[in-house]
Structure 1
Amino acid sequence: MFRIPARLRALTRSKAIRRVGTVPAVAVLLLSAPATAHADPGGVVLAANSLPVVIGNLQSWLMGILAALATLFLVLAGVYWATAGGDPAQVERAKGALKNALVGYGLAVLSPVLLQVVRGIVGG
């Protein structure tokens, strides 16, 4: 069996240590070098959209999120009902999920009305 002499093993370890230590040292040097920050010479933009556009976007997002959650509860209600197997507790759980789905769909349908009230309050 071939053995590496102790002197050669020490030399190999020190090279490995130098190699491992070089990477962080280079990273520190690169990150510590000052860099110039350039500002945008254009004008200042305070708002990208007007209030009616923002409320319209909010309405779209709100309707989408509520409809997605209501659909999730509707699917869960169907799964609970299908896997109930005559268990009354599981059927009640399915009915509760179905009620939550109906409330979610109702809120999704009413969200334009609710946001119209908000628009009236803020004067948009």
Structure 2
Amino acid sequence: MRRLLVVGALVAVSLLTTVAAANAAEAGVLVLAQAESVEQVLENVRGWVVGILALLATVFLTIGGVRYILGSGDPGEIEKAKVAFRSACVGYALAILAPLVVTVLQGIVGA
């Protein structure tokens, strides 16, 4: 079952990256790195951090749900599902707090 989940996740990631690359190629966009200011760089970092944290939290939420459903009342599996749910909550909380962290970094950098 775990192998099936891993294979499914790898297929989903590869499809998403392929579609994103195809869309960029169609638009004729080839910009590797071009930021006009430090604020823009920090905003880009915030966007990436929020996206990655939300993605990981969603993965943990999905894993927790699958473990809970497939646990069939097994106390060990239910506890592992609860740990995954807690991890998802922490991930979503960090994603919500990411703009605050970027604001603090802007204050430190002086931007």
Partner of 2:54: 67
Partner of 1:83: 70
Q: What's the CA shift for 1:86? A: 1.0
- In 2, the alpha carbon distance for the partners of 1:115 and 1:51 equals 11
The TM-score, its normalising length taken from structure 1, stands at: 0.61
| Contact 2:35/2:41 (<8 A) preserved | no
Q: Which runs of 5+ in 2 are unaligned?
A: 1-33
Q: What's the CA shift for 1:49? A: 2.5
- In 2, the alpha carbon distance for the partners of 1:84 and 1:57 equals 40
Q: Which of 34, 52, 56 is the aligned partner of 2:43?
A: 56
Partner of 1:109: 96
- In 2, the alpha carbon distance for the partners of 1:105 and 1:112 equals 13
The Cα RMSD (Å) is 1.0
Number of residue pairs aligned between Structure 1 and Structure 2: 78
The TM-score, its normalising length taken from structure 2, stands at: 0.68
- In 2, the alpha carbon distance for the partners of 1:78 and 1:116 equals 34
Q: Which of 92, 96, 112 is the aligned partner of 2:83?
A: 96
Q: 1:43-92 CA distances to partner (integer Å, 9 max, x unpaired)? A: xxxx7431000000001111000000000000000000000011100000
Could you list the structure 1 runs, at least 4 aligned residues long, displaced by more than 2 angstroms after superposition: none
Greater Rg by CA: 1
